[in-house]
Structure 1
Amino acid sequence: MPDSTPRTRPPGMLKVGTIAGSDVLVSSSWFLVAGLIAVIVAPVVDEAQPGLGGWKYVAGLAFAVILYLSVLLHEASHALAARHFGFPVSSITLHFLGGMTAIEGEARKPRQEFFIAVVGPLTSILVGAVALGLRPVTPEGLLLMAVEGLAGANLLVGVLNLVPGLPLDGGRVLKALVWRLTGNAHRGTIVAGWGGRLTAAAVLFWPAVQEPVLGTEPDILDFVLAFVIAAFLWSGSSAAMASARLRSRLPHLVARQLARRTLAVPSDLPLAEAVRRAHDARAGSIVTVTASGMPEGIVSEAAVQATPEERRPWVAVSAVSRSLQDGLRLPADLAGEELVMAISRTPAAEYLLVEPDGSVVGVLATADVDRAFRDSAH
């Protein structure tokens, strides 16, 4: 069933529809690039269809829309492939540099990473090939100009996206191949990240070799575009590498190993007595239970520390406990990314760790998880 929960959108985003249950968003930056394309294409429109006057800019804008519809096809193919493997896709965004598909979760196998990544460039190449095949039967004029432009742009986008460097699709393909060969997804990301950095450097220096290679002298727009694209590639690859280094430390986080010994007390017990019993039992946490012994709340360490000692004999332990709502009971065997995601879904200071049969293992404190994560870096 599609998710009926309203999704919050970042500022500057306009929803224009849905594809397979995923919101299609257009960034405000798209209107800037659409106007830029209209201005750049206007002379070509004038040559293909003379005498249009100011309408040549409207034709150029129409071409920009057609071009981004092909970008939408590219991103939609990523979304459909991700959904095929069971990954939710929250949105598809069209922006200044193309598009982005927001896939929730990470590929669990190299094969999934490979197919989700490669289907986008292959879709662009297919669109370009179809447009190229229509060229001989397309009449002269604006229609031919649009078909030729669509063919060239999609073939270029498809091929360039296969360049083996993150954040390009080719970088994810390279990551999948390295992952397959080494069995290490994080190593694949690091290799593909360096590929992205090398690609960024090549793009930055492209205007310097443009004239010898293409025979055309670079103008100021060429330098600006080279800088923008290089900055995008460098920041994207660097972010992916930083994320991989963080994720490589996550397997060291095992909920069971971080569990604090827990003391069970009735909810009406005075806080002072509960603290005394926990100290005698060398327990690092307190859980309130019903008369039948079922856990019903976790005592907040912060709330206990904030309660003056002279008031503790007169305060019931239930007054400083948090009821065990959904998300505060976690399986004791959670580890790595699954543990972090479970904590992220329901932010809290403490969680009750339980066995599959419901028996209590202990309490997991977020502070202990943070400390273990920092220690794993050393």
Structure 2
Amino acid sequence: MLKEDISGWTLLTLRGVAIRLHISLLFLLFYVALVAMIQFPVVIQLSKANINDVSGTPFIWAVIFSLALVLSIFIHEFGHVLMAQAKGLKVRAITLMMLGGASQIEEIPEEPSIEFKVAIIGPLVSLGIAATLFGIRELSNSANIDFFCYWVGQTNLALGIFNLLPAFPMDGGRVLRAFLVTKQGYLLGTWTAVKVSQVFVWIFGVIGFLQFNFLLMLIAFFLYAAAKSEYFVVMSQALLKGLRARDLMISLPSISENTTISEAVFQMAHSKTLLLPVIREAGQPSLITANLLKQIPKKTWDTMRIKDISVELLKVIHPDDPIEDIMILTLKTIMGGVPVVQDNQLVGVVRASDILDAIALRQLTEEESILKPWSLRIRHAHSR
């Protein structure tokens, strides 16, 4: 049974990794099947197969090819997962979507050799699939197997080569960064890889526009956004070095899980805050936000209690945890912050807004020493 979440549907879990299908994958399947039906006669000709010996209609082959492509992408991504786990990295999920697959590794490996191995294994897996299918094709006497191996083999060959292009954050871009880091350091190496990636963004974008290739234009946009996002993370972590959770945490009045919604809203208004820590009778503390409370009908506020609400279970942090290590966790949580716990006692909260403030302030005071000779403009817009 598929489990729906904000990333799509969780199909199953392998080696502790959730395998998710994003809704955009349906568009990919439709798009690939449509192109496959149109290109069917061309592929038949290129494979040198006799069309009379190949069973099935173009539609059936288009469906088979679409599913084989998704399976190939999954195997490619699972190669990354196995290598990452072998190197001690934790992988949360693989998400299959319109633009391919994405392995969600909890932390960016700063060791160049580890990033190189995790990145290079994906294209090598795709090239290995291609070589295997080409080998089967040479041994097969079946026109159907011959045609299938040619089509899917060529696709995996293209997938492997395409992913080796030095366009960050694709696999080739990460391989490039791993090399650059050994020469330039982590921050400048990432910056250089992003700049190289921008060249490919323009190439993909222009070719996609001239050829009316919607998918290629989407890839260009994705590369641009993803590269900027990762550089923001790397740059921000450099700016935040030396700060710990205790430096940014604030003290907020906490409420019990037996508190009614009305009482929680009153406490928020009185304390002028949009989130409050919740103390639980059993388990770690959590947070409640104004946005979550607004979704509850007001007529139930006097009777419904905080414990009756489905609240995201948050990881807790320690006052001595480095901010650069918990930055992504804090910025990604929909609750807007993370509880700080010491000796099983809630001592404060680190809010996402406080981290963004710290990044902006450190950019002003330390840009010369940390960011020079490159710069990144932080667009910081949030409300307290």
Both structures adopt the same fold (TM-score exceeding 0.5)? yes
The residue correspondences of 1:150-299 to structure 2 (distance < 5 A) are 150-184=152-186, 186-206=187-207, 220=211, 223-258=213-248
- Cα distance change of structure 1 residues 23 and 306 upon mapping to structure 2, 3 Å threshold: closer
User: Which residue in the other structure is 1:148 paired with?
Assistant: 150
Q: What is the TM-score normalised by the length of structure 2?
A: 0.66
Q: CA contact under 8 A between 1:253 and 1:373: conserved in structure 2?
A: no
- Please state how far the C-alpha of 1:52 moved relative to its aligned partner: 7.4
- Please state how far the C-alpha of 1:229 moved relative to its aligned partner: 2.9
User: Which residue in the other structure is 1:19 paired with?
Assistant: 14
- Please state how far the C-alpha of 1:92 moved relative to its aligned partner: 2.0
User: Which residue in the other structure is 2:311 paired with?
Assistant: none
User: Which residue in the other structure is 1:281 paired with?
Assistant: none
- SS class of match (1:102): strand
- SS class of match (1:251): coil
- Cα distance change of structure 1 residues 90 and 256 upon mapping to structure 2, 3 Å threshold: closer
- Cα distance change of structure 1 residues 133 and 250 upon mapping to structure 2, 3 Å threshold: same
User: Which residue in the other structure is 2:270 paired with?
Assistant: 306
Gap runs ≥5 in structure 1: 1-5, 209-217, 261-283, 288-299, 308-319
Larger Rg: 1
- Cα distance change of structure 1 residues 255 and 140 upon mapping to structure 2, 3 Å threshold: closer
User: In the alignment, which of 34, 37, 41 is matched to residue 36 of structure 1?
Assistant: 34
- Cα distance change of structure 1 residues 29 and 91 upon mapping to structure 2, 3 Å threshold: farther
- Cα distance change of structure 1 residues 36 and 342 upon mapping to structure 2, 3 Å threshold: closer
Q: Which amino acid aligns with 2:29?
A: F
- Please state how far the C-alpha of 1:77 moved relative to its aligned partner: 0.3
Cα distance in structure 2, aligned partners of 1:153 and 1:87: 29
User: Which residue in the other structure is 2:318 paired with?
Assistant: 331
Cα distance in structure 2, aligned partners of 1:359 and 1:327: 9
Gap runs ≥5 in structure 2: 255-263, 287-315, 365-384
Q: CA contact under 8 A between 2:252 and 2:277: conserved in structure 1?
A: no
Cα distance in structure 2, aligned partners of 1:370 and 1:234: 22
* Percent identity of equivalent pairs: 23
- Cα distance change of structure 1 residues 251 and 139 upon mapping to structure 2, 3 Å threshold: same
User: Which residue in the other structure is 1:376 paired with?
Assistant: 362
- Runs (4 or more) in structure 1 with deviation over 6 Å come to 51-54, 284-287
Cα distance in structure 2, aligned partners of 1:321 and 1:198: 46
Q: CA-to-partner distance for each residue in 1:154-193, whole Å, 9 max, x for gaps?
A: 2221122111121210111112222233332x32222211
Cα distance in structure 1, aligned partners of 2:150 and 2:361: 57
Q: CA contact under 8 A between 1:78 and 1:119: conserved in structure 2?
A: yes
Cα distance in structure 2, aligned partners of 1:10 and 1:352: 26
- Please state how far the C-alpha of 1:118 moved relative to its aligned partner: 0.8
Cα distance in structure 2, aligned partners of 1:371 and 1:204: 34
Q: CA-to-partner distance for each residue in 1:66-124, whole Å, 9 max, x for gaps?
A: 23322221111011112222333232232223222222222242222111111001111
User: Number of residues paired by the alignment?
Assistant: 310
- Please state how far the C-alpha of 1:304 moved relative to its aligned partner: 9.6
Q: CA contact under 8 A between 1:79 and 1:101: conserved in structure 2?
A: yes
Q: CA-to-partner distance for each residue in 1:196-247, whole Å, 9 max, x for gaps?
A: 1111222234479xxxxxxxxx8x55x4444333223223223323333333
Cα distance in structure 1, aligned partners of 2:246 and 2:122: 41
Q: CA contact under 8 A between 1:117 and 1:172: conserved in structure 2?
A: yes
Aligned-residue Cα RMSD (Å) equals 4.0
Q: CA-to-partner distance for each residue in 1:109-157, whole Å, 9 max, x for gaps?
A: 2222111111001111111122223332233623222212222222221
- Please state how far the C-alpha of 1:15 moved relative to its aligned partner: 4.3
Cα distance in structure 2, aligned partners of 1:239 and 1:233: 10
Q: CA contact under 8 A between 2:53 and 2:144: conserved in structure 1?
A: no
Q: CA contact under 8 A between 2:330 and 2:350: conserved in structure 1?
A: no
Q: CA-to-partner distance for each residue in 1:3-62, whole Å, 9 max, x for gaps?
A: xxx975237x44444432323333222322342243134324766433879722102221
